[in-house]
Amino acid sequence: MNEPNKRISVPSEAKAGDIVEIKTLIMHPMHNGYKFTTQGTRIPVNIIDEFVCTFNDEEVVRVDLRTGISANPYVSFFARVDVSGTFRFTWHDDKGPVYEETADIVVV
Protein backbone atom coordinates (compact mmCIF):
# COMPACT_ATOMS: atom_id res chain seq x y z
CA MET A 1 0.00 0.00 0.00
CA ASN A 2 1.17 3.49 -0.71
CA GLU A 3 2.25 5.68 2.14
CA PRO A 4 -0.87 7.63 3.14
CA ASN A 5 -0.91 11.41 3.19
CA LYS A 6 -0.42 12.96 6.60
CA ARG A 7 -0.94 16.48 7.81
CA ILE A 8 0.87 17.82 10.85
CA SER A 9 0.58 21.23 12.41
CA VAL A 10 3.41 22.09 14.81
CA PRO A 11 4.60 25.68 15.36
CA SER A 12 8.10 26.16 13.89
CA GLU A 13 9.30 28.07 16.93
CA ALA A 14 8.30 28.68 20.55
CA LYS A 15 9.62 30.20 23.77
CA ALA A 16 10.99 27.91 26.48
CA GLY A 17 8.17 26.58 28.63
CA ASP A 18 5.51 27.35 26.03
CA ILE A 19 2.53 25.06 25.62
CA VAL A 20 2.02 24.46 21.90
CA GLU A 21 -0.98 22.96 20.17
CA ILE A 22 -0.30 20.04 17.85
CA LYS A 23 -2.77 18.85 15.25
CA THR A 24 -2.33 15.64 13.27
CA LEU A 25 -4.29 13.87 10.58
CA ILE A 26 -3.59 10.78 8.51
CA MET A 27 -5.56 9.63 5.48
CA HIS A 28 -6.98 6.23 6.36
CA PRO A 29 -10.42 4.70 5.64
CA MET A 30 -10.82 3.31 9.21
CA HIS A 31 -13.06 0.45 7.98
CA ASN A 32 -15.34 -0.52 10.85
CA GLY A 33 -16.47 -3.86 9.41
CA TYR A 34 -20.11 -2.79 9.03
CA LYS A 35 -19.94 -1.58 5.44
CA PHE A 36 -20.39 -3.60 2.26
CA THR A 37 -19.01 -3.15 -1.23
CA THR A 38 -21.48 -2.75 -4.11
CA GLN A 39 -20.90 -6.48 -4.75
CA GLY A 40 -22.25 -7.32 -1.29
CA THR A 41 -19.01 -8.43 0.33
CA ARG A 42 -18.30 -7.16 3.79
CA ILE A 43 -15.28 -4.87 4.07
CA PRO A 44 -13.18 -6.24 6.95
CA VAL A 45 -12.08 -4.11 9.87
CA ASN A 46 -8.97 -2.11 9.07
CA ILE A 47 -8.12 0.77 11.36
CA ILE A 48 -5.26 2.75 12.78
CA ASP A 49 -5.35 1.28 16.29
CA GLU A 50 -2.55 3.20 17.94
CA PHE A 51 -1.09 6.67 17.68
CA VAL A 52 1.98 7.79 19.60
CA CYS A 53 3.66 11.17 19.73
CA THR A 54 7.09 11.60 21.31
CA PHE A 55 9.20 14.71 21.83
CA ASN A 56 12.96 14.02 21.95
CA ASP A 57 12.07 10.36 22.64
CA GLU A 58 9.85 11.30 25.61
CA GLU A 59 6.26 10.21 25.18
CA VAL A 60 3.76 13.05 24.98
CA VAL A 61 0.56 11.21 24.13
CA ARG A 62 -0.53 7.69 23.31
CA VAL A 63 -3.96 7.07 21.82
CA ASP A 64 -5.70 3.73 21.62
CA LEU A 65 -8.10 4.19 18.68
CA ARG A 66 -11.04 1.91 17.97
CA THR A 67 -13.58 1.66 15.17
CA GLY A 68 -15.55 4.53 16.74
CA ILE A 69 -13.00 7.01 15.40
CA SER A 70 -13.87 8.71 12.10
CA ALA A 71 -12.14 8.00 8.81
CA ASN A 72 -8.92 9.99 8.36
CA PRO A 73 -8.32 10.08 12.12
CA TYR A 74 -7.68 13.55 13.48
CA VAL A 75 -5.92 13.92 16.81
CA SER A 76 -5.00 17.16 18.50
CA PHE A 77 -3.35 17.81 21.87
CA PHE A 78 -0.88 20.10 23.65
CA ALA A 79 2.80 19.74 24.48
CA ARG A 80 5.15 21.73 26.70
CA VAL A 81 8.52 22.52 25.08
CA ASP A 82 11.59 23.60 27.06
CA VAL A 83 14.31 22.88 24.47
CA SER A 84 14.52 22.62 20.69
CA GLY A 85 13.79 19.18 19.40
CA THR A 86 11.84 16.84 17.23
CA PHE A 87 8.30 15.60 17.50
CA ARG A 88 7.92 12.09 16.15
CA PHE A 89 4.45 10.84 15.24
CA THR A 90 3.75 7.14 14.75
CA TRP A 91 0.54 5.54 13.51
CA HIS A 92 0.11 1.77 13.80
CA ASP A 93 -2.23 0.07 11.32
CA ASP A 94 -3.87 -3.08 12.72
CA LYS A 95 -2.78 -4.95 9.57
CA GLY A 96 0.88 -4.27 10.37
CA PRO A 97 2.12 -1.14 8.60
CA VAL A 98 3.57 1.63 10.72
CA TYR A 99 3.57 5.18 9.41
CA GLU A 100 5.93 7.83 10.74
CA GLU A 101 6.34 11.56 10.46
CA THR A 102 8.56 14.06 12.25
CA ALA A 103 8.39 17.79 12.88
CA ASP A 104 11.08 20.05 14.32
CA ILE A 105 10.52 22.92 16.71
CA VAL A 106 13.07 25.59 17.62
CA VAL A 107 13.02 27.18 21.06
CA VAL A 108 14.14 30.80 20.77
Q: Considering the complex, what minimum distance in angstroms separates the CB of residue 44 from other proteins?
A: 9
Pairing verdict, β 48-55 and 74-81:
unpaired
Q: Considering the complex, what minimum distance in angstroms separates the CB of residue 84 from other proteins?
A: 15
Q: Considering the complex, what minimum distance in angstroms separates the CB of residue 42 from other proteins?
A: 8
> Residue numbers of the site for other proteins (CB under 8 A)?
19-20, 32-36, 38, 40, 42, 45, 47, 49, 55, 58-71, 73-80, 94
Q: Which is nearer to other proteins, 36 or 108 (CB)?
A: 36
| Cβ–Cβ under 8 Å, residues 100 and 89 | yes
Q: Which is nearer to other proteins, 12 or 70 (CB)?
A: 70
Pairing verdict, β 18-26 and 6-9:
antiparallel
74: which residues sit within 8 A by CB, 6+ positions away?
23, 24, 25
